């Protein structure tokens, strides 16, 4: 019997929870690389924790945590030796599934016709390590937008973006449960939770447990592929006290949400499109688009033709764009959202309200990035609350 046949037989069933030490996690990273994945994980770069290719658990932000608030992010000392004490940073898996710029195709003028060239490179196989619960839900949101796992529904008018779908299909997701929540977190009020739930699309989910001198990880199987990989690693069975510790950790993080989104925000915004608060926020908003760039669900892009000087060869590129750019709403005759007021309103109402109509879920998962990375600290939860609490609020 070959090794792979053997491992198929030994695939651990979904829901299995095992326990490994830090060396077990190191073995997991090594195994992922060995089977051909490009391993993407958290690492410290330029004073923040970002996603980047990592080669070992030593690349993780060991011992680092972060202190975030509107318009500010500072790395601070976390629990000594902890791998995952930090919270979400300025990047997310979005930039791997939906890169800031990618070539869609090219074309060359030949005698009397033109030849279309498909991009030569194959989509990479990524293994993401350390994906947070809110990021997992953001992937679900983008899956809906880009038509992942709905490629068989094209006849029903469902669009699938081949570039996204290809990358997404080939990737493996290893989530991590949050040990704490930060000042800008509000996933609970967006229907999420700091700990991942089954059905949210993770292959494996880690829980870091640090008690006294003990440091170990629980690994839970979330998919068949995850079960296969885990079966190839040495592990111990999880103990009852581990599961208790995991539960306590989840409760603690749930209670630490720094912010809350007001209830029923979808109808609230729909009923208040002419509220004076939009003017108020426009006086503060820089129209810089940072919020949309860091948001793990924002998907706006621009498509441009890049010709060479002769005009005989062209490439079509897709780049990240934003509803904060004036050209983004350019239609024949001019842009339709000329003022910052209408662009901010477009952004916020789309995230929290019209996304439901368009995709059947919320466009915001409550990760708090737009609050932290807004240079002037504009806070989506506060803007919603201000409308709700005001006298002119329409219900």
Partner 1 sequence: MNAMLNKKAKPKTSAKPGRAKPKVAVWKFASCDGCQLSLLSCEDELLDVVGEIQIAYFLEATSAKIEGPYDISLVEGSITTEHDAKRIRKIREQSKALITIGACATSGGIQALRNFADVNAYTRAVYARPDYIHTLKTSSPIQDHVPVDYELRGCPINKMQLLEVINATLNGRTPNISHVSQCIECKRRGTVCLMVVKGIPCLGPVTHAGCGNICPTTDRGCFGCFGPSEAANGASLARQLERLGMSKREIRDFFRSYNANAVAFRETSEIYD
Determine the 3-state secondary structure of 83 from DSSP.
Answer: coil
Q: Are 26 and 57 in contact (CB under 8 A)?
A: yes
Residue 206's binding partner out of ligand SF4, partner 1, none, with CB under 5 to 8 Å set by partner kind: none
Query: Judged by CB under 6 A, which stretch of 28-36, 38-46, 111-119, 367-375 contacts ligand SF4?
Result: 367-375
Rg (CA), the chain: 23
Residue 72's binding partner out of ligand SF4, partner 1, none, with CB under 5 to 8 Å set by partner kind: partner 1
Residue 13's binding partner out of ligand SF4, partner 1, none, with CB under 5 to 8 Å set by partner kind: none
Residue 308's binding partner out of ligand SF4, partner 1, none, with CB under 5 to 8 Å set by partner kind: partner 1
Query: Judged by CB under 6 A, which stretch of 62-70, 192-200, 242-250, 291-299 contacts ligand SF4?
Result: 291-299
Residue among 145 and 245 whose Cβ is closer to ligand SF4: 145
Residues 308-339: b if buried by 16+ CB within 10 A, e if exposed:
eeeeebbbebbebbbbbbeebeeeeeeeebee
Residue 369's binding partner out of partner 1, ligand SF4, none, with CB under 5 to 8 Å set by partner kind: ligand SF4
Q: Are 198 and 14 in contact (CB under 8 A)?
A: yes
Residue 73's binding partner out of ligand SF4, partner 1, none, with CB under 5 to 8 Å set by partner kind: partner 1
Q: Would you give the DSSP letter of residue 285?
A: -
C-alpha 195/C-alpha 202 separation (Å) is 12
Q: Is 194 in the site for ligand SF4 (CB under 6 A)?
A: no
Least separation in angstroms between residue 14's CB and partner 1 is 34
Q: Would you give the DSSP letter of residue 378?
A: -
Least separation in angstroms between residue 320's CB and partner 1 is 5
User: How many CB atoms sit inside 10 A of residue 158's CB?
Assistant: 12
Residue 158's binding partner out of ligand SF4, partner 1, none, with CB under 5 to 8 Å set by partner kind: none
Least separation in angstroms between residue 68's CB and partner 1 is 9
C-alpha 257/C-alpha 251 separation (Å) is 11
Q: Are 218 and 17 in contact (CB under 8 A)?
A: yes
User: How many CB atoms sit inside 10 A of residue 355's CB?
Assistant: 20
C-alpha 156/C-alpha 153 separation (Å) is 5
> Which residues in 338-357 contact ligand SF4 (CB under 6 A)?
351
Q: Are 353 and 346 in contact (CB under 8 A)?
A: no
Q: Are 41 and 59 in contact (CB under 8 A)?
A: yes
Helices 340-349 and 277-284: crossing angle in degrees, nearest 10, is 110
Residue 306's binding partner out of ligand SF4, partner 1, none, with CB under 5 to 8 Å set by partner kind: partner 1
> Which residues in 312-341 contact ligand SF4 (CB under 6 A)?
324
Residue among 195 and 343 whose Cβ is closer to ligand SF4: 343
In the chain the first and final C-alpha atoms are separated, in Å, by: 67
Handedness of CA 83, 86, 87, 88 (dihedral sign): negative
Least separation in angstroms between residue 340's CB and partner 1 is 6
Site string for ligand SF4, 248-287 (x = CB under 6 A): -------------------------------------xxx
Residue among 247 and 284 whose Cβ is closer to partner 1: 284
Written in H, E and C, the secondary structure of 17-60 is EEEECHHHHHHHHHHHHHCCCEEEEEEEECCEEEEEECCCHHHC
Q: Would you give the DSSP letter of residue 124?
A: P
C-alpha 306/C-alpha 313 separation (Å) is 8
Q: Which residues bind partner 1 (CB under 8 A)?
A: 45-48, 50, 71-75, 90-91, 95, 100-101, 283-290, 293-294, 302, 304-312, 319-322, 324-327, 330, 340, 343, 372-373, 375-377
Residue 365's binding partner out of ligand SF4, partner 1, none, with CB under 5 to 8 Å set by partner kind: ligand SF4
Residue among 44 and 393 whose Cβ is closer to partner 1: 44
Q: Is 185 in the site for ligand SF4 (CB under 6 A)?
A: no
Residue 295's binding partner out of partner 1, ligand SF4, none, with CB under 5 to 8 Å set by partner kind: ligand SF4
Instruction: Name which position in 18, 48, 209, 378 contacts ligand SF4 (CB under 6 A).
Output: 378
Q: What is the dihedral of CA 271, 272, 274, 279, to 10 degrees?
A: -160
Least separation in angstroms between residue 379's CB and partner 1 is 14
Enumerate binding residues for ligand SF4 (CB under 6 A).
Answer: 285-291, 294-297, 324, 351, 364-370, 374-376, 378, 380
């Amino acid at each position: 019997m070959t090794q792979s046949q053997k491992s198929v037989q030994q695939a651990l069933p979904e829901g299995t929870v095992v326990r490994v030490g830090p060396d077990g996690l190191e073995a997991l990273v090594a195994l992922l690389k060995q089977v051909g994945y490009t391993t993407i994980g958290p690492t410290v770069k330029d004073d923040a924790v970002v996603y980047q290719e990592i080669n070992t658990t030593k690349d993780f932000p060991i011992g680092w945590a972060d202190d975030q608030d509107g318009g500010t992010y500072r790395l601070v000392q976390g629990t000594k030796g902890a791998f995952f004490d930090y919270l979400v940073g300025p990047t997310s898996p979005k930039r791997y599934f939906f890169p800031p710029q990618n070539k869609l195709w090219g074309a060359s003028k030949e005698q009397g016709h033109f030849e279309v060239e498909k991009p030569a490179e194959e989509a990479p196989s990524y293994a993401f390590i350390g994906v947070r619960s809110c990021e997992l839900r953001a992937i679900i949101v983008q899956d809906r937008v880009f038509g992942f796992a709905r490629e068989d529904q094209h006849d029903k008018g469902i669009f699938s973006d081949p570039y996204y779908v290809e990358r997404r299909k080939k990737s493996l997701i290893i989530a991590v449960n949050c040990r704490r929540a930060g000042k800008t977190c509000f996933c609970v009020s967006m229907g999420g939770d700091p700990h991942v739930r089954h059905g949210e699309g993770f292959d494996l989910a880690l829980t870091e447990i640090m008690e006294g001198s003990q440091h170990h990880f629980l690994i839970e199987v979330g998919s068949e592929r995850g079960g296969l990989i885990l079966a190839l690693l040495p592990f111990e069975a999880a103990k009852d006290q581990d599961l208790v510790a995991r539960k306590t950790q989840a409760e603690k993080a749930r209670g630490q949400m720094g912010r809350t989104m007001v209830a029923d925000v979808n109808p609230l915004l729909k009923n208040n499109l002419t509220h004076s608060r939009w003017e108020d926020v426009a006086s503060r908003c820089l129209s810089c688009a940072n919020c949309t760039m860091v948001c793990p669900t924002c998907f706006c892009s621009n498509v441009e033709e890049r010709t060479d000087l002769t005009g005989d060869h062209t490439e079509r590129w897709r780049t990240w764009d934003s509803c904060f750019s004036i050209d983004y709403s350019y239609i024949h005759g001019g842009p339709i959202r000329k003022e910052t007021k209408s662009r901010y309103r477009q952004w916020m109402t789309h995230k929290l309200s019209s996304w439901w109509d368009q995709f059947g879920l919320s466009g915001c998962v409550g990760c708090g990035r737009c609050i932290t990375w807004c240079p002037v600290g504009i806070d989506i939860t506060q803007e919603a609350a201000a409308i709700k609490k005001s006298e002119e609020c329409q219900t």
